[in-house]
Amino acid sequence: MRATSRLGSVLLSVSVGLSLFSWSATAGESPKKVAGHVDFNRDIRPILSENCYKCHGPDDGARKAKLRFDIRSDALKPAKSGDIPIVPGSPEKSQMVLRITASDLDDRMPPIKSGKTLSPTQIDLLTRWVAEGAPYATHWSYVKPVRSALPHVKRASWPINVLDRFILARLEREGLKPSLAADRSTLIRRVSLDLTGLPPTPEEVERFVNERSPRAYEELVERLLKKPAFGEHWARMWLDLARYADSAGYADDPPRTIWPYRDYVIRSLNANKHFDRFTLEQIAGDLLDDGDEDDLIGSAFHRNTMTNNEGGTSDEEFRNAAVVDRVNTTMAVWMGTSMACAQCHNHKYDPITQQDYFRLLAILNNTADADLKDESPLFEIFTPAQEQERKKLQDEITGIETKFKTPTPDSLAAQAEWEKKFPGERQWLALEPLTMKSESGGLVERGPDNAVKAAP
């Protein structure tokens, strides 16, 4: 059902947001001792990234002792001295463990001058990780999500859907109980604000409160999803990602006419358009074989870049700045990763190289816009009424042109009569040049008909 699908997307965005918030809130803290298996992404990568990668990571220019810990095969290679940085399963033979636990401060890693210090918890995690075989893992953001098994809960009758089971499992783990169910007045206010950004009307509240259908809530959600306000509310989030603005940015920040793209996003959400189609239209709407006007409007995602026409600026410089912006924004929005660092060097903490960056830039460096003041090329858009009037005028113009371009006996006779009465050659005057000069120093001369000729 469309309503369920769209509501599921809304719930997914909320749950993902909570997950990201949870990660960001703990990423800077020292990991606590975790019982059982040590997880590389959760426990080890943050320690290595914060304390080791600056000198033993992907940056060739900053790397010390030709040692790197970001690639497992390199971390297992013997050094010139024969010592092995990491010996899987043997912390006592691993130089990394020996150095982070060294009593001599000159040998201790990270070095004192770095300002970094490993806590006992972090040292314990690294030691246990090596003892468990020092397994590496792809960064969590590049791992395909796998559906989790439903957690066991004590109050099995409380969950209404699968999300409820995860919420209840966490509450029970923390020793908490679920809140009481909200009354209907509160519930309609919450879901109305969430889906449309607007509070319900008194009439809507009264209808829902007095509704006795077992599907009252589902029917309420379906009514809200059909409101234009649904697309208007949720479009704000996408327009922020698409860096939408009604002005061109930079110093003078002149007005920009691009509101049809805003309306396109709203229409797409209200129509519950499939996300794959939504993506194609915005990245390559002008290249689709079955494309229409809406697809061309959607491709304005890449026209939301800033343009600069302040006096003395170079159009080519800011055209390139716009292409760079398209690369960074496309990766941030659709891949959920930062690519800007790779413009200058291989990405330190993600598998993205400068070569990857400029390969994508080459694809997007084929646009027709050139940072011009009128922001051309432009696409004309007409309302249905305007389109009808435009067609009427075009038909009138075509009729007039056809009339005057089609020879008739009357028009041919009129032309012959006009040619007879046209003044003769005696009426034409040839202008006489007063001075003649060649910038290259060549010889120029005047002919008998006053024509200026360059001497061979």
Phi-psi map region of 82: left, alpha, beta (phi>0 left; psi -120 to 50 alpha)? left
Relative to beta strand 444-446, strand 452-454 is antiparallel
User: Is 340 within 8 Å of 397 (Cβ atoms)?
Assistant: no
Spans of all domains in the chain = 1-26, 31-141, 184-226, 230-364
Q: Which pLDDT belongs to residue 3?
A: 36
Residue pointed to by tokens 């806590």: 119
What does the pLDDT look like over 364-384, one tens digit per residue?
Answer: 998 888 888 888 888 888 888
What is d(CA 138, CA 148) in angstroms, rounded to the nearest whole number?
18
Hey, which residues does 445 pair with through a beta bridge? 453
Task: Give the side-chain half-sphere CA count within 13 A for 438.
Answer: 11
H/E element, 445 = strand 444-446
- CB atoms inside a 10 Å sphere around CB 418: 9
User: Is 390 within 8 Å of 382 (Cβ atoms)?
Assistant: yes
- Residue type, position 65, single letter: A
Three-state SS for 164? helix
What does the pLDDT look like over 217-275, one tens digit per residue?
Answer: 999 999 999 999 999 999 999 999 999 999 998 888 899 999 999 999 999 999 999 99
Across residues 142-149, what is the average pLDDT? 87
What does the pLDDT look like over 160-217, one tens digit per residue?
Answer: 999 999 999 999 999 999 999 899 999 999 999 999 999 999 999 999 999 999 999 9
Full-model pTM: 0.68
What is d(CA 109, CA 96) in angstroms, rounded to the nearest whole number?
8
Q: Which pLDDT belongs to residue 2?
A: 34
